Copies of this chain bind each other. A is one copy, B any other.
Amino acid sequence: MAVHEECGVFGLIGPRSGVIARDVYHGLYALQHRGQESCGIVVNEDGVFTVHKDPGLVGEVFTEEILRSFPGGSMAIGHVRYGTTGGNTRSNIQPMTVRHRKGNLALAHNGNLTNSLELREELEMSGAIFQSTSDTETISYMITRERLTAPSIEEAVLSAMHRLRGAYSLVMMSSTKLLAVRDPGGFRPLCLGIRPDGGYAVASESCALDAVGAEFIRDVEPGEMLVFSAEHPKEAPVSYRRHCGCRQTPCIFEYIYFARPDSTIDSVSVHEARVRAGRILAEEYPVKADVVIGVPDSGLDAAVGYAAASGIPLDLGLVKNKYVGRSFIAPSQEQRSDTVRIKLSPVRSVLEGKSVVLIDDSIVRGTTSKRILRMLRDAGAEKIHLRISSPPFKHPCFYGVDIDSEDKLIAHHHSPEEIAAILGADSIGFLPLSSLGRMSGLTDFCSACFDGNYPAGIPADPRKDRFERKLSERE
17 A-B pairs whose Cβ atoms sit less than 8 Å apart in the complex: A19-B332, A29-B323, A47-B471, A47-B472, A51-B88, A51-B90, A62-B329, A63-B329, A64-B329, A70-B87, A101-B124, A104-B475, A126-B127, A128-B128, A153-B475, A175-B475, A264-B349
Interface residues of A in 19-59 (CB under 8 A from B): 19, 22-23, 25-26, 29-30, 32-33, 46-53, 57-59
Query: Knowing A261-B319, A327-B63, A328-B59 touch, does A148 contact B129 (C-beta < 8 A)?
Result: no
Residues of A that sit less than 8 Å from B by CB: 17-19, 22-23, 25-26, 29-30, 32-33, 46-53, 57-60, 62-64, 67, 69-70, 87-88, 90-91, 96-105, 121, 124-131, 133, 140-141, 144-145, 148, 153, 174-176, 195-197, 207, 210-214, 260-262, 264, 269, 271-272, 275, 297, 300-301, 304, 307-308, 313-316, 319, 321-325, 327-329, 331-332, 334-337, 341-342, 345-350, 468, 471-472, 474-475
Alpha-carbon distance between A87 and B70 when the two chains are bound, in angstroms: 8
Chain B residues near A23: list those with CB within 8 A. 335, 337
Shortest Cβ distance from A327 into B: residue: B59
User: Do residues A308 and B313 form an inter-chain contact, with CB atoms below 8 A?
Assistant: yes
A464 to chain B, nearest CB (A): 15
Shortest Cβ distance from A130 into B: residue: B99
Besides A23-B335, A322-B322, 16 more A-B contacts (Cβ < 8 Å) are: A17-B334, A30-B321, A46-B472, A48-B468, A63-B327, A99-B133, A100-B128, A105-B129, A127-B127, A196-B336, A207-B319, A211-B342, A214-B336, A264-B348, A271-B350, A304-B314
Query: Knowing A341-B210, A347-B269 touch, does A128 contact B131 (C-beta < 8 A)?
Result: no
User: Do residues B345 and A316 form an inter-chain contact, with CB atoms below 8 A?
Assistant: no
Alpha-carbon distance between A305 and B269 when the two chains are bound, in angstroms: 26
| The 9 nearest A-B residue pairs measured at CB | A103-B475, A213-B336, A101-B124, A269-B349, A99-B130, A98-B129, A59-B327, A262-B345, A32-B323
Shortest Cβ distance from A153 into B: residue: B475
Chain B residues near A57: list those with CB within 8 A. 323
A12 to chain B, nearest CB (A): 11
User: Do residues B125 and A332 form an inter-chain contact, with CB atoms below 8 A?
Assistant: no
User: Do residues A347 and B32 form an inter-chain contact, with CB atoms below 8 A?
Assistant: no
A124 to chain B, nearest CB (A): 4
| Contact for A262 among B98, B148, B346, CB less than 8 A | B346
Shortest Cβ distance from A296 into B: residue: B297
